[in-house]
Chains A and B, each alone.
Chain A
Amino acid sequence: MSIELKNLYDDFRDAKTIKAYAKQIAKDAKELNRSIGIMEVCGGHTHTIMKYGLPQLMPANIHFIHGPGCPVCIMPKEKIDHAYTLAMQQDIILVTLGDMIKVPGSHGSLQDARAKGADVRFVYSPIDVLKIAKENPDKKVIFFAIGFETTTPMTAALLESVIKNNIKNVLFYINHVTVPEVMTTLMVDGENRPVENKIDAFLGPSHVSVITGSEIYEPFASIYKKPVVVSGFEPVDVMQSIHMILKQLLEGRSEVEVQYARAVEKGGNKRAQELINKYFEKAPLFSWRGLGKVPKSSWQLKDEFASYDAEKIYTSILPTQECQDHKLCRCGDILKGLATPTDCTVFGKLCKPNNPVGSCMVSSEGACSAYYRYGNIK
């Protein structure tokens, strides 16, 4: 029997099932009888929640808090400026993934760089970089790698292939970030003091967890006493996960549970993890747009692969100037659950998807962009 693509989503968008969970959630919420904030860490979930209108199915005391899990949104302007500078070099082709090309830096976006003559391309799979490199032997192809644990193994696989095939014109600029450290900063500060937030539970990321396994969330359940349910990306997945979270809260439990059991195991994908650890090590600090500097929350190439590291090779031409976020932008508060996009004074006015002021408006996975696009119809 062959599986068709539609088998992978049809049942997970079934109206009857969604309605049945909505009923159950209403019952759970009534019994809980207090305000509950559930953070979906991952931008993919933010997108699902807004696209399918799930807040409209929630009782008044259940709130979604849209987390920092959109790799494009959290990219600091300094990094965009680096990509822009590299792209503007004559002998360089800069390759990146999807939405990254429209994020504005101090001089403009990569899309603007391209309009000025830079060779900027986007690919769906990092492996496509090999084809570009082969077709352009006299150019350096820099892969501007972005993403959480989900895309990191693909970058590692690309590097492995580059080394194995002795390809001389592919370089890497690594911006891979990791989930647990940034989740921790939402709980406690650098001195381990509790941070103000309204998070009662977490909806765990889908694809990140396929790679890492669900065990990375254990501290959030055991130390910070927040239920975590790793959820799939479809509306039925999210509704079922909310029900599982409310059940934990009702029973006074805080555990890591996996709703997305069709893809996630406790220990994750070992082969992918090995690949990551072979080429990457934790960088001391990554500056998250809207959230600030978080120690050990990103990857960098190990020293032995420095000859593939564009950030090191081109260090003399990369700008060092720090960029400040817009004063009125409230993305930082939104990412902590202290504000919603509509609380921000620039939302939908100065700040729109084609002219984003803050990080959450940048990619379709950002909270502000999803609110703007789908409208937060009550």
Chain B
Amino acid sequence: MKINTINLAHGNGGSESKELVETFFYSAFGNSILNKSEDAALIENGKLAFTTDSFTVNPLSFAGGNIGKLAICGTCNDLAVMGAKPKYISIAFMIEEGFSFDELRQIIKSMRDELEKNDAIVVCGDTKVVPKGNVDKLFINTTGIGEIYYSGISASNLKEGMSILISRDIGAHGAVIFAAREGMELSSELKSDCASLYPQVKSIVDAGVKIVALRDATRGGVAAVLNEWASSSGITIEIDEASIPVCDEVYGICELLGFEATALANEGTFVLAVPSEDAQKALDILRKTHESSAIIGSVNGTYKGKVILKSSWGTQRFLDLPTGELLPRIC
């Protein structure tokens, strides 16, 4: 049975998304810059980073943020994890008729707050209003240009012996959206991790840590980032499962619904690869922002292109790319 239509799994950030992008977009538009498939494209001989992202999250507001905050964080973070300082942003709004001014004001306020944190400005934009039912309330696209201040970050540079770190406990954004969508009542204040990462990345660079690879673990979660690195660099990433920070609420939601926290989306969490001698220094800096940050594993060459999860009782398994329809419209 050959599939000839797009289905929701194609938007999961995992194996189906990868297939879609490769089959359709890379084959049509491929060039030496696009084919690098980094979070942001390096242009003008590596002086600038350039990226774009669209936001369709449902619900528009959630614990810890809203679509506006997400739209600025998302694009600025894609620049930040390339070692760029976010500078110029474009915003396009696609608005369904009937959308309230108040809600729009609130969303715009969140965008301004977040732009400030990145010290970035909006330099162009576009607005479309469509008849009821043609988009769901509000979709936003943002594009950003950043100035590279730290070069050489790439998914293809990981080598055996290097250390893998995570900037905080994982899966909060995906879990919050799911809980909101399913009407689950949580007994505590779980918030999306949605945040601008530029200040944190800058502090790592300023401390003199050598950053090999850096990526914010959005759709597809930490599992997608690690798999992409393992495959791009042709190495094995070995993760000590017990060391992955997951808060009780996220763990509980995963238990109830049969997810793995490593497949849940994050919007303010990054994975970092550094030479092992820099690992402790990097961790010390990460802990200043999030106590839960951790060294979660290392690079070796046992199963090239694969990610291995080691349990605390001595067994191991592959951590695969997430597949199937996990949850649409999370960002």
Contacts and interface: CB of A to CB of B under 8 A. Distances in A.
Contacts of A104: 1
A267 interface: no
Contact of A53 (B182, B257, B303, B311): B311
Nearest to B306: A375
Given A5-B248, A353-B324, A374-B320, 5 more contacts: A4-B248, A51-B317, A111-B325, A375-B317, A377-B316
A354 B9 contact: yes
Q: Return the 3 tightest CB-CB contacts between A and B, nearest first.
A: A53-B315, A375-B318, A15-B312
Contacts of A375: 303, 306, 317-318
Given A102-B9, A102-B325, A124-B182, A57 B314 contact: yes
A56 B320 CA distance: 19
B16 interface: yes
A354 B252 CA distance: 27
A353 B15 CA distance: 10
A179 B69 CA distance: 50
Contact of A114 (B7, B252, B258, B323): B7
Interface string A86-119: 0000000000001101101111100110111000
A142 B89 CA distance: 47
B255 interface: yes
B316 A56 contact: yes
A107 B251 CA distance: 37
A36 interface: no
A54 interface: yes
A377 B3 CA distance: 32
B101 interface: no
Contacts of B318: 373-375, 377
Contacts of A5: 248, 252, 255-256
Contacts of A246: none
Nearest to B253: A5
Interface of A: 4-6, 8-9, 15, 18-19, 22, 50-54, 56-57, 98-99, 101-102, 104-108, 111-112, 114-116, 124, 235, 353-354, 364, 372-375, 377
Contact of B16 (A99, A108, A354): A354
A94 to B, nearest CB: 15
B8 interface: yes
A15 B311 CA distance: 8
Contacts of B182: 124
Main SS class of interface, A = helix
Interface in B1-26: 1, 3, 5-9, 15-16
Contacts of B325: 101-102, 111
A22 B312 CA distance: 13
Nearest to A104: B1
Given A108-B3, A354-B324, A57 B313 contact: yes
Given A102-B325, A124-B182, A124-B257, A374 B7 contact: no
B1 A22 contact: no
A124 B325 CA distance: 14
Contacts, number: 85
Interface in B231-273: 248, 251-252, 255-258
B311 A354 contact: no
A322 to B, nearest CB: 17
Given A53-B311, A102-B325, A353-B324, A6 B248 contact: yes
A15 B248 CA distance: 19
Contacts of B258: 98, 364
Contact-residue size bin, chain B (C-beta under 8 Å from the other chain): 20 to 34
Interface in B280-314: 303, 306, 308, 311-314
Nearest to B10: A115
Given A6-B248, A106-B1, A354-B323, A111 B8 contact: yes
A99 B259 CA distance: 12
A112 B5 CA distance: 7
Contact of B5 (A19, A22, A115): A115
Given A104-B1, A112-B3, A19 B320 contact: no
Contacts of B8: 111, 114-115
Given A5-B255, A101-B325, A112-B7, A52 B311 contact: yes
8 contacts: A5-B248, A15-B312, A50-B317, A53-B316, A54-B315, A56-B314, A102-B325, A124-B182
B317 to A, nearest CB: 4
B1 A108 contact: yes
A91 to B, nearest CB: 19
A300 to B, nearest CB: 28
A227 to B, nearest CB: 25
A4 B249 CA distance: 10
Contacts of B314: 19, 56-57
Nearest to A122: B325
A346 to B, nearest CB: 15
A116 B257 CA distance: 27
A249 B303 CA distance: 38
B1 A107 contact: yes
Contacts of A50: 317
Contacts of B311: 15, 52-53
B78 to A, nearest CB: 26
A354 B9 CA distance: 9
A22 B311 CA distance: 14
A11 to B, nearest CB: 14
Contacts of A116: 5
B252 A115 contact: no
Nearest to B312: A15
A46 to B, nearest CB: 13
Given A6-B248, A354-B324, A111 B313 contact: no
Given A5-B252, A354-B324, A377 B317 contact: yes
A373 B320 contact: yes
Contacts of B256: 5
Nearest to A8: B255
B252 A111 contact: no
